[in-house]
Amino acid sequence: MERFIQMARQLNREIMIESRNPFDPVCPVNIPFPWRILGCGNYAAVFYHPDYPSYVVKIYGRDERGLLEEKKVYERLGEHPGYSVCYYTEKRFLILKRIEGITLYDCVHKGVKIPESVIRDIDEALYYAEKRGLFPNDVHGKNVMISKGKGIIVDVSDFYKKVPCRMWKDLRKAYFKVYKPVFYRFPIRIPYFVLNMIRVGYRYYRKLKLSIKKGNK
């Protein structure tokens, strides 16, 4: 582990992470060899090293305050099969357990079937988090992975925000109303630009609903 921490430090020093727009994922400009990227989110980019396949390094590109919260959330969660594990943190990066698998977002993109049991796994993991006094937040297709057939939440950075989040409820509804009857039976690949349109469309839909709600008060 000590050796890996040193390597993660060096990666952190060498890497440049760009954030163009607060609503789009951050993006690394350079990836030092032999690190590989696993994904980007709104705050951070996640990498692994081929010699240490069971760890990942999550490096924050913006809003590093979130990192401390994420660390605290992992402490609160303890070990649970529905989550990763945080082994180590520094100012700008965390070392987490690597989850080998595919995000729900990529399942839809690649036409990989998402079984109902995965949705139930996530429900259970969220219930567990609530019991531990956390507020599940920002649980969407890129933050949930299927690993060995089980659903795992890989991003808990917003579980400290005391605001209700409808995302998982909406996603769940979409799963049972649209995905299960249509895409599960006829798996087709959905291009990224269509998924991106759904993502942006969803943001506007929620904003609109919120403003209608406020208007009604």
46 touches, from Mg ion, ligand ADP, none (C-beta below 5 to 8 Å by class): ligand ADP
Distance CA 141, CA 153 (A): 10
- Give yes or no for a cis peptide into 32 (omega within 30° of 0): no
39 touches, from ligand ADP, Mg ion, none (C-beta below 5 to 8 Å by class): ligand ADP
Smallest separation (angstroms) from ligand ADP to the CB of 142: 4
Q: Are 88 and 5 in contact (CB under 8 A)?
A: yes
Minimal CB distance to ligand ADP: which residue? 41
Q: Nearest Cα to 126, choosing from 153, 99, 98, 97?
A: 153
Residues forming the site for ligand ADP (CB under 6 A):
38-44, 46, 56, 58, 84, 96-99, 103, 142-143, 154-155, 157
Q: Are 71 and 94 in contact (CB under 8 A)?
A: yes
Number of H-type helices and E-type strands within the chain: 6, 10
Smallest separation (angstroms) from ligand ADP to the CB of 216: 32
Smallest separation (angstroms) from ligand ADP to the CB of 26: 7
Q: What is the 3-state secondary structure (H, E, C) of 87-137?
A: EEECCCEEEEECCCCEEHHHHHHHCCCCCHHHHHHHHHHHHHHHHCCCCCC
The residue among 68 and 182 lying less far from ligand ADP, judged by its C-beta, is 68
The residue among 67 and 119 lying less far from ligand ADP, judged by its C-beta, is 67
98 touches, from ligand ADP, Mg ion, none (C-beta below 5 to 8 Å by class): ligand ADP
86 touches, from ligand ADP, Mg ion, none (C-beta below 5 to 8 Å by class): none
Region at 101 (left for phi over 0; alpha for psi -120 to 50; beta for the rest): left
The residue among 119 and 139 lying less far from ligand ADP, judged by its C-beta, is 139
The residue among 48 and 179 lying less far from ligand ADP, judged by its C-beta, is 48
Amino acid at 61: G
Smallest separation (angstroms) from Mg ion to the CB of 43: 7
Return the structure tokens found at 3: 């050796």
Smallest separation (angstroms) from ligand ADP to the CB of 208: 24
Distance CA 128, CA 81 (A): 11
119 touches, from ligand ADP, Mg ion, none (C-beta below 5 to 8 Å by class): none
The residue among 84 and 143 lying less far from Mg ion, judged by its C-beta, is 143
